[in-house]
Amino acid sequence: MKNKIKASLCVIICMLITFCLCACNAEFKLNSGGTESVTDGQTLSVHYLDVGQGDSIFIELPQNKTMLIDAATAEYGEGIAEYIYEQGYEKIDYLIATHPHADHIGGMKAVVEKFEIDKIYMPKASTTTKTYKNLLQAIKDNGLKINTAKAGITIAQSTNLKIDILAPNSDSYDELNNYSAVIKITYGDRAFLFMGDAEKLSEQEITADVKADVLKAGHHGSSSSTSEEFLARVNPTAVIISCGKDNSYGHPHKETLEALEKAGIEIYRTDTMGTIIASTDGESLEITDNNPAANH
């Protein structure tokens, strides 16, 4: 009997240790889920990384080019870099800092220091935070120059691919979120829209064609963004919400989820599904997540 209790205790302790190790691992390392890079030079893959309460989206473009939109908070910088290395890349062709909030640029200093970077785009918005100043210093130290992100700029264009900046459309805003660089990637018949933390004011200002198959909801699914009018213009089949489990902001907000459900749009959330990958050859579109058991 005693031995049985001892054995049971042993099993429980082992399980606890395994659980703790897994929990720590999840915090510092982005699980790529054993997903091999699917890019064969023709496929475009968008990785909406599970980075807690923040945004970081890594994009494998055709012809082995890459793009990174935001780099979450500082503690995720190393994990994001590791994830990109695991996909087989050492260069980022286009680096976008949508706006200078810590949950978007915190990990970017690490990225700037570790990768060869071709072009950086940031909106003309500034803050006085140490995170922002450190990033600017790292950009300078690495001999890079910042290109201004604003509506009307085309980042890349080839036969099948077009990458455009649709916002910001004004020179100044009261709310830093509205400076967010909004990016649209069109590949063949498919399009992806990335909102950063743009709110309803910025959504209203966009006059360009916003129609897209996959929409990264603005501001982590907050009710400040994704108005019903804008959603109707984008008319997506799937919406990705990047937010942290049990975050203090209550993201995604009930209003946003209800509007998406009402419109019959598939919802993918990094807080419940982990990293989400959308891939297209320009015709078919496939979306996978790291948690097939999750409801969506």
The distance of closest approach from Cβ of residue 69 to Zn ion in the complex, given in angstroms and rounded to an integer, is 12
Part of the chain binding Zn ion (CB under 5 A), chosen from 15-23, 79-87, 102-110, 151-159: 102-110
CB of 58 to Zn ion, least distance (A): 17
Residue 246 has what DSSP assignment?
T
The nearer residue to Zn ion, 102 or 263, going by C-beta atoms, is 102
Give the per-residue contact string, 182-211, with Zn ion (x = CB under 5 A; - = no).
---------------x--------------
Q: Which is nearer to Zn ion, 217 or 257 (CB)?
A: 217
Secondary structure E strands in the chain? 44-48, 57-60, 66-69, 91-96, 116-122, 146-148, 154-157, 161-167, 182-187, 190-194, 214-216, 238-241, 266-269, 276-280, 285-289
Min dist CB 75 to Zn ion, Å, is 15
Nearer to Zn ion, 65 or 220 (CB): 220
- State the nearest-atom distance from the C-beta of 104 to Zn ion, in Å: 5
Residues in the chain: 296
DSSP annotation of 54: S
CA angle 230, 233, 237 (to 5 degrees): 100
- The region of 64-72, 95-103, 125-133, 267-275 touching Zn ion under the rule CB under 5 A is 95-103
Contact 151, 198 (CB under 8 A): no
Structure tokens at 196: 């950063």
Beta partners for residue 240, in sequence order: 216, 268
Cross-strand pairs, 216 = 194, 240
Q: How far apart are CA 98 and CA 55, in angstroms?
A: 10
Of the pair 39, 178, the CB lying nearest Zn ion is at 178
Stretch that binds Zn ion, among 70-78, 99-107, 137-145, 258-266 (CB under 5 A): 99-107
Mark residue 13 as left, alpha or beta (left: phi above 0; alpha: psi -120 to 50; beta: remaining).
Answer: alpha
Question: Is the CB of residue 99 less than 8 Å from the CB of residue 181?
Answer: yes
Question: DSSP class of residue 81?
Answer: H
Nearest to Zn ion of 156, 176 (CB atom): 176
Pairwise CA distance, residues 292 & 105, whole Å: 30
Q: Which of 70, 103, 164, 271 binds Zn ion (CB under 5 A)?
A: 103
Of 106 and 274, the one with the shorter C-beta distance to Zn ion is: 106
Instruction: Kindly identify the residues of this chain, within the stretch 9-38, that bind Zn ion according to CB under 5 A.
Output: none
Closest distance of CB 134 from Zn ion, Å: 18
Q: Is 93 in the site for Zn ion (CB under 5 A)?
A: no
In angstroms, the CA 284 to CA 190 distance is: 8
Smaller CB separation from Zn ion, 103 or 289: 103
Number of residues that bind Zn ion (CB under 5 A): 2
Cβ 234 to Zn ion shortest distance, Å: 19
Report the interface residues with Zn ion, using CB under 5 A: 103, 197
